[in-house]
C-alpha cells in the first residue's frame, strides 16, 4: 500500500470526518461526493495542510501524520491552479526541485521533460497570465510532478475549465498517470469525471465513506439507494417481499409482481418485509403488447430527446419511472405501454 | 511535548506581533500617556481635574476652542459646497479629459499644507496674482479683494484642501445608486424631485455625512494653514495654541490639558467618521449602476453655464496656486527699486551655498531626505509586520489590536510632538539630534498608511499560493521570501512612497520638535514666508513638489496599487 489512512478523525464545527482507506501504488483513487461532504478536507489532511484530531497517515509505510507539509513530498494541484503569477512557467515548475535543493542542470532538464509530457514544449519562458486556462492547468500538473512526489493529490483540478476542455484534460490526466504509474488521489463532485478517470472511487457523504470500489461496482451494485441515485439516474419502487427460493425473491408492488435474482442483493430479506426495487433506465425494456397478465400498463408522460436515444417518463398507479429507448420510432405522449426488466438487473434494497 | 510544539508554533507569531507593538508602545502610547498624565496629575502625583477645569473655564481657551470648532464647521460646509457638484459630474458623466479632471482633484491630497498656504498667499494675497489682475482690470491702486490673514482665508484654504475628499467619497456612493431603482420609482409615479429625495438622497446621505466627518476632522487638526493664514488671539485654533504654549510660553501644563481635551474631541470625530463609513451602502449593487452619459448632454442651456463655471472655479482653486508657486520660484527682487527679475537665482544659491539662503535650504533638503528615508525604513518594517498580523485568520484580540494600531490616526502630530518633548525632559540624557525624534514621529504618522497599502495587496494573495508552495517543499521562511515578498512588492513600494511623501511634507510634528540643525523643507518655507522671502520659499517649494511627486511617479512606474 502506498497511502494508508487509519482511523483519521477531524472535527470542524458541526462537521465530523472519519476515514479509513488505502491507495495502492500506481492507482488512481477518486474521492467523489457532494460539496461539503469532506472530500477536500480529507485531501488537505493527506497533504498536511490540515492536522487530523486523531488517527495515523502512512505514506510508503512511514507514518507522516506529524511531518510538516513541506517535508512530505506530496505533489498537489489546486482548484484555482495556484500558479505563482510572479514566476515564469519554468520558475513555477522548477519551484519544487529548487526547494528541495536539486542542481540547476537537473532542474532545467526536469522542466523540459515535464513540458514535453504535458505537451507544452518550448513554454519555459512564458508568463503565467499569457497561458490559456487549459495550459495553466497543465503547468500546474507539471509543477506538482516536478519533484517526483510519491503521491499526487488533485483537488477538483478541472472545475475552472469549460465542459469541452474538462473532457480533454481528464483524458490527459489519465494518460499521464498511467504512463508514469503515479499514485493519485483525485477529488471531484462530478460523477462523469470520476467514472472516466478512476481505478477506484471512494464515495464520501457527510464525512463518512459510503462505498469504495471500481466505477462498475458502484454503478451496478450500489451499497444503498442514495449512492445508487448519486452515481446515475435510477428508478426506485417501494415493494414488499412475498416469497423467496434459492435464487430469487418474489416481489409484490403497486404496479404488479416482480422477480429479482439474489445474485446482486447484498442484504437478506425475509418474506413480508418492505423493500425498494432499484433499476437503471437502460434496463427497462419497452413492450408494445402485454406479456404478463398481471402487469399494469404505463402512460407515457413525457419524452426527452438525447440524440442517440430518448428518455421516457412513464407513470402508473402514481409511480413514475424513467426508461431509455433507442431512437428508432416515435411514440406520442399519452400512449399506453408495457415494460419489463430482467431479474438480474434489479437490485433489492432496504426500505 | 505537546505544550512544547505549541509554544514553538506560537513563538514566531509572538515575535512578529511583539516587535511592532513594543515600538508603538514606546513611541506612541508611553509619551502620550505621560503628557496626558501631566495634564491630569498635580505636583504630588494625585489625579486631579483642576488643570483641565482651569483650561476649560478660561475665557481665552474657551475662545480658542469655539473658534476651532467654528472654523472647522464652516470649512466643512464650504468643502462640501465645492465637492458635491464634482461628485455628481464624475459619477454621472463621461467626457474627454475625465481622467485629467479626476487627476487634478487628487493634487491637494499629495500637496504638503505649507505649499498650499504659500500658493494661497501668492495667489490671493494683497499683492498676489489675482489682485494684480483685478487691479489692472478695474484700474485701481488698492487691492480689490482682501482675504488673507482672516477666517475667510482659512476657509478658502481648507475648502481647497478638502473638497477632493468629498468628491472621492460621494462620487463612489453616488455611482453605486442603482439605475433600476430610480427607474422603478419613476414607474411608480414619482417625479424627479421626489425620486431624488426618496431614493437617491437616502442612499448617498451616509456618504456625504462620512465625507463631512472626515473633512471636519482634518480642519479640526489643521495647523500650517492656521499658523500662517490665521494669527492673533482671535484666529487661533487648538493645535496652534498647543504649539505656542509648548514652544513659546513653555507652559507644558496647560498644553497637556489642552492636548487631552483636543485628543478626546478628535477621537470622537474619528469614531463618528468610522461609524458613518460603516453605514455607507456599499458593495451591494442590485441591477445596473446608473450609466454614465456623455457630458455633451450637460452643456446645453443654463446647466452648461454652471458646469463651465464650476470647472473654471476648480481649476482656479487647484491649479493656480500651484502654478504660481512654480512661476515665482524663478523670480527675485533686484536693486534699489525692488525690481522683479526672472532667473535661476534661488536654485543657484542652493547649489553654491554661499549665502544664508543657500546653506539653510541645503540643510533643509538634506534633513528632509534623511527623515524621509528613516521614516520609510521604520514604517515599512512596522507597517508590514502589522499588516501580516492583522490579516492572519483566527487572530485573537483582533479588534483590540486593530484599534490600538489605528488610534495614532486620530491623534494630531502636534500632540505627538508635544508628548515627545515631555518624554525627553524626563530622560536622563540629552538628545542632541532632534531628527531622530522627527523620524520616529513621522513613522507613527506614516505606518497606518503602509498597513493600508500592504494589506490591500495581502488580502489578494490566495491562501492556495501559500499551500502550493508548502506542498512543493518550501519552509515558512522560504515561502515568505519566495512568495509573500515578491507578491507584496507593489504594496510595499506604494507604502514606501506614501511614507516618504508624508514625511517630506509634514511640518506639525517637525516644527514642534525641531531645533536649528534639524530644520526641514516645510519649516524652512514657513520661516521664509515669515521673513517675506516668498520667491525663495517658492524655489524650495518646487524642490519639495519634485521630491513628493517623484515618489508618486515612482509608484505609478512600478505599477503600484491604488485603493
Residues in chain B: 563
Looking at residue B561, what is its pLDDT?
A: 42
Looking at residue A21, what is its pLDDT?
A: 93
Specify burial of residue A204 (Cβ count, 10 A radius: 0-12, 13-18, 19+). Answer: buried
User: What's the grid cell of residue A204?
Assistant: 464520501
pLDDT above 90 (res A106): yes
Report percent pLDDT > 90 for chain A: 49
Contact A70 B471 (CB under 8 A): yes
CA dist list (Å): B68 to B36, B115, B262, B272, B408: 20, 22, 10, 18, 21
Looking at residue B188, what is its pLDDT?
A: 76
User: What's the grid cell of residue B518?
Assistant: 534639524
Distance CA A265, CA A344 (A): 10
CA dist list (Å): B162 to B113, B121, B212, B536: 11, 18, 10, 27
Answer for the pair B486, A86: CB distance below 8 angstroms, yes or no: yes
pLDDT above 90 (res A269): no
* Sign of the dihedral through C-alpha B425, B426, B431, B433: negative
Where helices occur in B93-150 by DSSP H, the ranges are: 98-104, 107-110, 113-124, 129-138
For A82, the closest chain B residue by CA position comes to B465
Give me the sheet containing A208-213, strands edge to edge. A74-77, A151-155, A184-188, A28-32, A200-205, A208-213
What is the count of residue pairs from A and B with beta carbons less than 8 Å apart? 66
**Residues in chain B within 8 Å Cβ distance of A146:** 472
User: What's the grid cell of residue B416?
Assistant: 505627538
User: In sequence order, what are the residues at sequence separation of 6 or more whose Cβ sits closer than 8 angstroms to the Cβ of residue B480?
Assistant: none
Q: Bridge partners of A153?
A: A76, A185
Looking at residue A297, what is its pLDDT?
A: 81
Restricting to A residues 142-161, those with a Cβ less than 8 Å away from any Cβ of B are: 143-144, 146-147, 153
Contact A84 B462 (CB under 8 A): no
**Ranges under pLDDT 70 in chain B:** 1-10, 12, 97, 281-301, 335-338, 393-395, 555-563
Looking at residue B557, what is its pLDDT?
A: 67
Looking at residue A19, what is its pLDDT?
A: 92
Answer for the pair B128, B118: CB distance below 8 angstroms, yes or no: no
Distance CA B37, CA B260 (A): 9
User: What's the grid cell of residue A70?
Assistant: 513541506
Using 50, 70 and 90 to split pLDDT, how confident is the model at A224? confident
Q: Bridge partners of A311?
A: A304, A324
Which of A44, A51, A71, A76 best probes binding to B when mutated, by most B CB atoms within 10 angstroms? A76
Looking at residue B456, what is its pLDDT?
A: 87
User: What's the grid cell of residue B59?
Assistant: 475665557
Instruction: Name the residue among B160, B90, B164, B166 with its Cα closest to residue B320.
Output: B160
Answer for the pair B34, B426: CB distance below 8 angstroms, yes or no: yes
B53-62 long-range contacts, Cβ below 8 Å, gap at least 24?
B54/B254, B54/B257, B55/B254, B55/B257, B55/B258, B55/B261, B56/B261, B60/B233, B61/B241, B61/B254, B61/B258
Alpha carbon of residue B29 to chain centroid:
21
| ipTM metric | 0.81
pLDDT above 50 (res A94): yes
Parallel, antiparallel or unpaired: strands A309-316 and A319-326:
antiparallel
Contact B478 A99 (CB under 8 A): yes
Report the CATH number of the B339-563 domain. Answer: 1.10.3720.10
Distance CA A21, CA B495 (A): 50
Looking at residue A349, what is its pLDDT?
A: 86
Looking at residue A306, what is its pLDDT?
A: 82
Using 50, 70 and 90 to split pLDDT, how confident is the model at A294? low
Looking at residue B173, what is its pLDDT?
A: 86
Distance CA B220, CA B79 (A): 14
Distance CA A344, CA A348 (A): 11
Q: Which residue is associated with the grid cell 416482480?
A: A258
Average pLDDT on A81-89 reads 93
**Residues in chain B within 8 Å Cβ distance of A70:** 470-475, 478
Distance CA B177, CA B92 (A): 11
Report the CATH number of the A3-225 domain. Answer: 3.40.50.300
Distance CA B62, CA B58 (A): 6
Answer for the pair B126, B146: CB distance below 8 angstroms, yes or no: yes
Report the CATH number of the A233-350 domain. Answer: 2.40.50.140
Specify burial of residue B10 (Cβ count, 10 A radius: 0-12, 13-18, 19+). Answer: exposed
| Residue-range domain boundaries for chain B | 49-328, 339-563
Alpha carbon of residue A68 to chain centroid:
29
Question: CA of B8, closest CA in chain A: separation in Å?
Answer: 13
Answer for the pair B550, B501: CB distance below 8 angstroms, yes or no: no
Contact B471 A72 (CB under 8 A): yes
| Number of other CB atoms surrounding residue B138 within 10 Å | 9
Phi, psi of A309 (to 5 degrees): -135, 170
Looking at residue B284, what is its pLDDT?
A: 43
Looking at residue B335, what is its pLDDT?
A: 66
CATH architecture of the domain with residue range B49-328: Orthogonal Bundle (1.10)
| Residue-range domain boundaries for chain A | 3-225, 233-350
Tell me the longest C-alpha to C-alpha distance in chain B: 92
Contact A78 B468 (CB under 8 A): yes
Average pLDDT, chain A: 89
Task: State whether residue A85 sits within 8 Å of chain B by CB.
Answer: yes
pLDDT above 90 (res A163): no
The string of pLDDT tens digits covering residues A167-190 is 989 999 999 999 999 999 999 999
B505-538 per-residue burial string, b: 16 or more CB within 10 A, e: under 16:
bbbbbbbbbbeeebbbbbbbbbebbeeebbbbbb
Amino acid at each position: 500500500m502506498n497511502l494508508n489512512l487509519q482511523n483519521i478523525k477531524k472535527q470542524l464545527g458541526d462537521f465530523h470526518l472519519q476515514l479509513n482507506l488505502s491507495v495502492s501504488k500506481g492507482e488512481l483513487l477518486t474521492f467523489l461526493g457532494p460539496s461539503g461532504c469532506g472530500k477536500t478536507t480529507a485531501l488537505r489532511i493527506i497533504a498536511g495542510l490540515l492536522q487530523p484530531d486523531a488517527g495515523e497517515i502512512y505514506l510508503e509505510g512511514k507514518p507522516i501524520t506529524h511531518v510538516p507539509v513541506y517535508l512530505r513530498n506530496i505533489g498537489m494541484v489546486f482548484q484555482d491552479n495556484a500558479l505563482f503569477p510572479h514566476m515564469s512557467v519554468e520558475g513555477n515548475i522548477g519551484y519544487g526541485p529548487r526547494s528541495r535543493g536539486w542542481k540547476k542542470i537537473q532542474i532545467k532538464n526536469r522542466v523540459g521533460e515535464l513540458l514535453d509530457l504535458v505537451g507544452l514544449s518550448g513554454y519555459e519562458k512564458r508568463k503565467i497570465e499569457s497561458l490559456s486556462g487549459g495550459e495553466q492547468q497543465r503547468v500546474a500538473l507539471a509543477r506538482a510532478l516536478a519533484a517526483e512526489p510519491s503521491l499526487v493529490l488533485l483537488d477538483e483540478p478541472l472545475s475552472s475549465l469549460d465542459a469541452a476542455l474538462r473532457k480533454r484534460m481528464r483524458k490527459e490526466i489519465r494518460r499521464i498517470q498511467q504512463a508514469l504509474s503515479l499514485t493519485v488521489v483525485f477529488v471531484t463532485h462530478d460523477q462523469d469525471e470520476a467514472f472516466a478517470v478512476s481505478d477506484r472511487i471512494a464515495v464520501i457523504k457527510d464525512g463518512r465513506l459510503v462505498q469504495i470500489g471500481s466505477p462498475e461496482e458502484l454503478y451496478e451494485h450500489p451499497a444503498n439507494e442514495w449512492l445508487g441515485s448519486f452515481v446515475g439516474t435510477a428508478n426506485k419502487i417501494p415493494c414488499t417481499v412475498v416469497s423467496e427460493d434459492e435464487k430469487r425473491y418474489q416481489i409484490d408492488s403497486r404496479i404488479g409482481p416482480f422477480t429479482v435474482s439474489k445474485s446482486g442483493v447484498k442484504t437478506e430479506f425475509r418474506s413480508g418485509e418492505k423493500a425498494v426495487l432499484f433499476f437503471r433506465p437502460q434496463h427497462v425494456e419497452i413492450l408494445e403488447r402485454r406479456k404478463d397478465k398481471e402487469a399494469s400498463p404505463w402512460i407515457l408522460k413525457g419524452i426527452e430527446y438525447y440524440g442517440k436515444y430518448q428518455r421516457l417518463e412513464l407513470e402508473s398507479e402514481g409511480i413514475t419511472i424513467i426508461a431509455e429507448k433507442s431512437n428508432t420510432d416515435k411514440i406520442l405522449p399519452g400512449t399506453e405501454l408495457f415494460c419489463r426488466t430482467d431479474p438480474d438487473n434489479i437490485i433489492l434494497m432496504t426500505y | 511535548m505537546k505544550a512544547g510544539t505549541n509554544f514553538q508554533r506560537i513563538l514566531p507569531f509572538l515575535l512578529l506581533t511583539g516587535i511592532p507593538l513594543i515600538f508603538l508602545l514606546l513611541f506612541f502610547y508611553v509619551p502620550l500617556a505621560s503628557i496626558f498624565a501631566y495634564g491630569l496629575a498635580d505636583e504630588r502625583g494625585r489625579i486631579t481635574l483642576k488643570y483641565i477645569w482651569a483650561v476649560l473655564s478660561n475665557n481665552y481657551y474657551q475662545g480658542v476652542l469655539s473658534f476651532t470648532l467654528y472654523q472647522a464647521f464652516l470649512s466643512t460646509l464650504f468643502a462640501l459646497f465645492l465637492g458635491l457638484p464634482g461628485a455628481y459630474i464624475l459619477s454621472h458623466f463621461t467626457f474627454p479629459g475625465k481622467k485629467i479632471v479626476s487627476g487634478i482633484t487628487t493634487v491637494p491630497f499629495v500637496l504638503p499644507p505649507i505649499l498650499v498656504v504659500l500658493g494661497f498667499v501668492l495667489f490671493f494675497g494683497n499683492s498676489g496674482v489675482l489682485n494684480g489682475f483685478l487691479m489692472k482690470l478695474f484700474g485701481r491702486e488698492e487691492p480689490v479683494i482682501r482675504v488673507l490673514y482672516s477666517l475667510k482665508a482659512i476657509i478658502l484654504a481648507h475648502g481647497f484642501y478638502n473638497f477632493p475628499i468629498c468628491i472621492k467619497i460621494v462620487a463612489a456612493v453616488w455611482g453605486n445608486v442603482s439605475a433600476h431603482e430610480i427607474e422603478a420609482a419613476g414607474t411608480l409615479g414619482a417625479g424627479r424631485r421626489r425620486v431624488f429625495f426618496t431614493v437617491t438622497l437616502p442612499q448617498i446621505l451616509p456618504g456625504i455625512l462620512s465625507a463631512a466627518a472626515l473633512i471636519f476632522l482634518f480642519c479640526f487638526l489643521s495647523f500650517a494653514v492656521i499658523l500662517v493664514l490665521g494669527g492673533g488671539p482671535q484666529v487661533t485654533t487648538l493645535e496652534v495654541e498647543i504649539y505656542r504654549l509648548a514652544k513659546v510660553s513653555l507652559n507644558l501644563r496647560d498644553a497637556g490639558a489642552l492636548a487631552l481635551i483636543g485628543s478626546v474631541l478628535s477621537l470622537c470625530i474619528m469614531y463618528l467618521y468610522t461609524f458613518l463609513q460603516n453605514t455607507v451602502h456599499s458593495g451591494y449593487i442590485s441591477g445596473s449602476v446608473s450609466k454614465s452619459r456623455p457630458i455633451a448632454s450637460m452643456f446645453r442651456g443654463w446647466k452648461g453655464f454652471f458646469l463651465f463655471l464650476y470647472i473654471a472655479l476648480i481649476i482656479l482653486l487647484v491649479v493656480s496656486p500651484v502654478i504660481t508657486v512654480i512661476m515665482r520660484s524663478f523670480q527675485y527682487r533686484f536693486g534699489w527699486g525692488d525690481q522683479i527679475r526672472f532667473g535661476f537665482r534661488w536654485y543657484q544659491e542652493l547649489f553654491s551655498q554661499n549665502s544664508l539662503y543657500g546653506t539653510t535650504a541645503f540643510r533643509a533638503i538634506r534633513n528632509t531626505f534623511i527623515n524621509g528615508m528613516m521614516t520609510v525604513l521604520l514604517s515599512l518594517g512596522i507597517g508590514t509586520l502589522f499588516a501580516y498580523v492583522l490579516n492572519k485568520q483566527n487572530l485573537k484580540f483582533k479588534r483590540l489590536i486593530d484599534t490600538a494600531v489605528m488610534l495614532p490616526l486620530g491623534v494630531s502630530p502636534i500632540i505627538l510632538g508635544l508628548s515627545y518633548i515631555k518624554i525627553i525632559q524626563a530622560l536622563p540624557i540629552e538628545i542632541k539630534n532632534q531628527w531622530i525624534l522627527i523620524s520616529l514621529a513621522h513613522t507613527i504618522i506614516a505606518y497606518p498608511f503602509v498597513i493600508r497599502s500592504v494589506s490591500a495587496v495581502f488580502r489578494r494573495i490566495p491562501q492556495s499560493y501559500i499551500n502550493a508552495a508548502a506542498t512543493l517543499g518550501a519552509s515558512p521562511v522560504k515561502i515568505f521570501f519566495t512568495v509573500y515578498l515578491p507578491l507584496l512588492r507593489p504594496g510595499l513600494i506604494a507604502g514606501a512612497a506614501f511614507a516618504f511623501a508624508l514625511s517630506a511634507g509634514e511640518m506639525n510634528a517637525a516644527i514642534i520638535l525641531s531645533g536649528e540643525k534639524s530644520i526641514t523643507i516645510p519649516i524652512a518655507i514657513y520661516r521664509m514666508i515669515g521673513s517675506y522671502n516668498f520667491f525663495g520659499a517658492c524655489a524650495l517649494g518646487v524642490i519639495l513638489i519634485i521630491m513628493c511627486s517623484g515618489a508618486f511617479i515612482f509608484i505609478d512606474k512600478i505599477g503600484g496599487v491604488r485603493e
